[in-house]
Structure 1
Amino acid sequence: MSDTSKLQTPNSKLNLAERDKKVIWHPYTQMKNALPHIPIVRGEGVYIFDEDGKKYIDAVSSWWVNIHGHAHPYIAQKVAEQLNVLEHVIFAGFTHEPAVLLAERLLPVLPGKQEKVFYTDNGSTAVEVALKMCLQYWDNKGKPKTRILAFKNAYHGDTFGAMSVSGRSIFTDAFNSLLFDVDFIDLPDAENISDLISQISNLTSTACFIFEPLILGSGGMLMYEAKYLDELIAACRKAGILIIADEVMTGFGRTGTYFACEKLNHKPDIICLSKGLTGGTMPLGITTCTDEIFDAFLSEDKLKTLYHGHSFTANPIACVASLASLDILLQEETLANIKRIEAKHALFLEEIKAHARVKAVRQTGTIIAIEWETGNETSYLSNLRNLLYKFFLDKGIVLRPLGNIIYILPPYVISDTDLNYIYGAIKQALEEI
């Protein structure tokens, strides 16, 4: 029997931040000198509230996941109802209504001819599945291809396959010698597109091309044009290279359309989804594919099976949260809010683009990124990052800079008043920091 004497009651004399410091290891954080983590006790709409009652505008959607606002009553209602019906069931040999219904409703709104859904847990695992699908597709066909094409500065997750297809950076530095080789290319533009197409035409052992469409998120909110991505995809098709669109961040309205790949003429073979999928309620990942991909795994040969799965694959509660989020996303009001935020950002871009401290400002859909002029200091670890982070927190705004780059990526329910407050704080920071 377990030793229950080791179970302790939390020290009531300590606040939540102090208790946290004793037992928690936080992500992307040097715990040696980290500032106390802010204890959040509740959320409502675009706001989160700490234990002292201070209100913060969640201007980054809590790592890009919260698209409809915190504690959305409709999503909460649907999740609560499902908890009283079925919380989870093994998804090998069994199925359930929420998983089937989500696939039935999601596939028709995705770009291209996506026909099958494979469920996982998060964006990184969705990418892992996509890579395995492509590599095994060619192996099952008896034409093994082992190379992968990706963009420099890309970010696709923190598991080993996802790290391998991400640009080499501080996120991967300790593991670089263990990652598999990938062919990295520059983002396409008018000057280099011909050279990139020429490079692709010479590839003979490349299984797939994986990309974040239109925006490289963690790479610094780097943005590029759909027409050049279209040309790269066309070249890949000609070279027999499968196409993976990582829409983990860009999906569900972020780029102004429901999915970034809607802006492409050439659609992907595989799409990776997560983050906004559940409306930010809980983890869920999805990898979708065309019938051509799926059919390559149909065989009397058991070795041609896709041997991949997770304990919480297709969790019914997460699927119900996703269905509720999809209901809200497809409302006319939500699309109107997306267009409103997009227009507001565009006006703000024009207002600040000539400022002496603005090195660059770029926008796609509901995402706007401002790059601070810092001379040669542009690292993710720049001291400016901490100064900006604290400056905005003091003003009740959650903006998590990527080095010298700040960005606004808000829930769609954000008001014009709150957007104007954020814009005003950024203008003040440009003058003072």
Structure 2
Amino acid sequence: MKKNNFIFDLQHIWHPYESMIKPLPCYMVTEASGIHLKLQSGIKIIDGMSSWWSNIHGYNNIELNNAMKKQINKMSHIMFGGITHNPAIKLCKKLINILPKKLECIFLCDSGSVSIEVAMKMAIQYWNISKNPKKKFLTIHNGYHGDTFLAMSICDPINSMHSIYEHILPKQLFAKQPKISYHEKWNNYDIHSFIKLIVKFKSQIAAVVIEPIVQGIGGMKFYHPEYLRQVRLLCNIHHIPLIIDEIATGFGRTGKMFAYQHANIVPDILCLGKALTGGMMTLSATVTSKKIASVISNSKPYRLMHGPTFMGNPLACIAASKNISILSNNNWKKKVKKIEKYLKKKLLILSNHPRIVEIRILGSIAVIECYNFINIKLMQNFFVNHGVWIRPFKKIIYLTPPYIIKYFHLKKIIIAITHAIKNNLLFLI
């Protein structure tokens, strides 16, 4: 029966970013607890990915579980059109308490990509009152903002996974990728490309969209906080809204509650997702100012034209509310700082290895960029056999572990990575 399930999965279930004909192998997970995934074979492996950045408190967290169990006995879902409920209100109150005062109008979405779509719709509708409505977006190369169509249009048009759709996507404006890294000395030349584009196309730009400090799947680069400060200043000068994509980095991942805080700025529109519910289920939010919300609401069609069926899902809202409570009450900053310190101590030793271009660490994110492309199938299997779950891509091995991880488990992950780096069979040479 178990074998039949594997065959069924292989023949009928399409996994993310995969082929239906020759997909990479899947590993059957039967349980998850703390930092461990239990495979069908009975082996437990350490999750170094937090289920794509989201599961920050570990699996089967008792506080999150209990909150959701209590809510599911009341109602798991109810439409949000013409109806409201306490879980949504409670969550939005908590969000407003941890966000800058300027950000006070919250649209609850159902995935990170949708949050970006809603933010871009907000920007377009904001300019509807103008005689010459603005419809273009300015961003930077090597960014990633999601897999839905408008979100794909602001992903890198050449180097992203969405380049095959480039000929049918709206044409956006792309400044050069920032080159000065987080810890390097700032030089104003890094912002020149962005300045040229925002000055030249300011009459067409509806908003600037950018990942704060950390460029995610576009290459896992960490850029200098001054770059983001300069972007904020330029948006202010030219009266262009700034959309911050905090979906991957939000809720402590970089050592700050939100990554834009590294630059001491405030966006006009903020997109949240992934760790919003502590990794329990899907939910996102697009948060904006009263000014932007009022302009949209006072111009035709006098409302924001978006409404996901599962918008404001009560079960997801109660998980997110409890997640924020956990973050407010525990010592997550200390935990993330300890993870960062240990990763720097143990991983940076590999920096001089001839296979490695660079090792980058910020908060509880570690990136090992290699010269050669990785054989994903073989390396994935190698990691599982060494008791860890790490999912590399292209030339990059990266870690985003749960905040509850212990030194012993991080040590095991780093040992596995060290052996993988030295294994020629795991790279495409």
TM (norm. structure 1) is 0.92
User: 1: CA distance between counterparts of 2:35 and 2:161?
Assistant: 29
Query: Deviations 1:31-85 (Å, cap 9, x if unpaired)?
Result: 3222441111110011010111111111011111111101111101000000111
Aligned counterpart, 2:320: 322
State the Cα distance separating 1:176 from its structure 2 match.
Answer: 1.4
Query: Deviations 1:248-302 (Å, cap 9, x if unpaired)?
Result: 0010111101100112233100010110011111111100001111111233x65
Query: Deviations 1:122-167 (Å, cap 9, x if unpaired)?
Result: 0000000000000110113555111100111111111100101111
Aligned counterpart, 2:248: 249
Percent of aligned pairs with the same amino acid = 36
1:139 aligned counterpart, secondary structure = coil
Query: Deviations 1:5-47 (Å, cap 9, x if unpaired)?
Result: xxxxxxx373432232233111111232224411111100110
Aligned counterpart, 1:222: 221
Aligned counterpart, 1:86: 75
The one of 163, 168, 173 equivalent to 1:183 is 173
Aligned counterpart, 1:68: 57
What one-letter code is carried by the residue in structure 2 that aligns with 1:245? I
State the Cα distance separating 1:342 from its structure 2 match.
Answer: 1.4
Query: Deviations 1:334-388 (Å, cap 9, x if unpaired)?
Result: 22211111111222343222222211111121101001122xxxxxxx4533332
Matched, 1:163 2:163: no
Matched, 1:206 2:205: yes
User: 1: CA distance between counterparts of 2:423 and 2:60?
Assistant: 35
User: 1: CA distance between counterparts of 2:94 and 2:122?
Assistant: 23
Query: Deviations 1:63-122 (Å, cap 9, x if unpaired)?
Result: 111111011111010000001112222111110001011011112212462111101110
Range with greater deviation from structure 2 (263-272 or 15-24): 15-24
Say if 1:13 and 1:332 are closer, same or farther in 2 by CA, change over 3 A. closer
User: 1: CA distance between counterparts of 2:101 and 2:401?
Assistant: 27
User: 2: CA distance between counterparts of 1:349 and 1:397?
Assistant: 16
Matched, 1:21 2:21: no
TM (norm. structure 2) is 0.92
Query: Deviations 1:180-228 (Å, cap 9, x if unpaired)?
Result: 0100012334333234324322332111000110111111211101111
Query: Deviations 1:220-252 (Å, cap 9, x if unpaired)?
Result: 211101111111221122112110000000101
Query: Deviations 1:284-325 (Å, cap 9, x if unpaired)?
Result: 1100001111111233x6513111001111000000010111
Aligned counterpart, 1:197: 195
Aligned counterpart, 1:174: 164
List, as ranges, runs of 4+ consecutive aligned residues in structure 1 with deviation greater than 6 Å. none
State the Cα distance separating 1:174 from its structure 2 match.
Answer: 2.9
Q: How does 1:411-426 map to 2 (within 5 A)?
A: 411-426=402-417
Q: Which runs of 5+ in 2 are unaligned?
A: 181-186, 425-429
Contact 1:112 1:267 in 2 (8 A): no
Contact 1:16 1:39 in 2 (8 A): no
What one-letter code is carried by the residue in structure 2 that aligns with 1:391? F
User: 1: CA distance between counterparts of 2:6 and 2:206?
Assistant: 47
1:304 aligned counterpart, secondary structure = coil
Aligned counterpart, 1:140: 129
Matched, 1:384 2:375: yes
User: 2: CA distance between counterparts of 1:390 and 1:356?
Assistant: 23
2:325 aligned counterpart, secondary structure = helix
User: 2: CA distance between counterparts of 1:142 and 1:313?
Assistant: 33
1:178 aligned counterpart, secondary structure = coil
1:272 aligned counterpart, secondary structure = strand
Say if 1:391 and 1:417 are closer, same or farther in 2 by CA, change over 3 A. same
Aligned counterpart, 1:258: 257
2:81 aligned counterpart, secondary structure = coil
User: 2: CA distance between counterparts of 1:70 and 1:264?
Assistant: 32
Say if 1:404 and 1:315 are closer, same or farther in 2 by CA, change over 3 A. same
What one-letter code is carried by the residue in structure 1 that aligns with 2:219? G
User: 1: CA distance between counterparts of 2:204 and 2:300?
Assistant: 25
Aligned counterpart, 2:36: 47
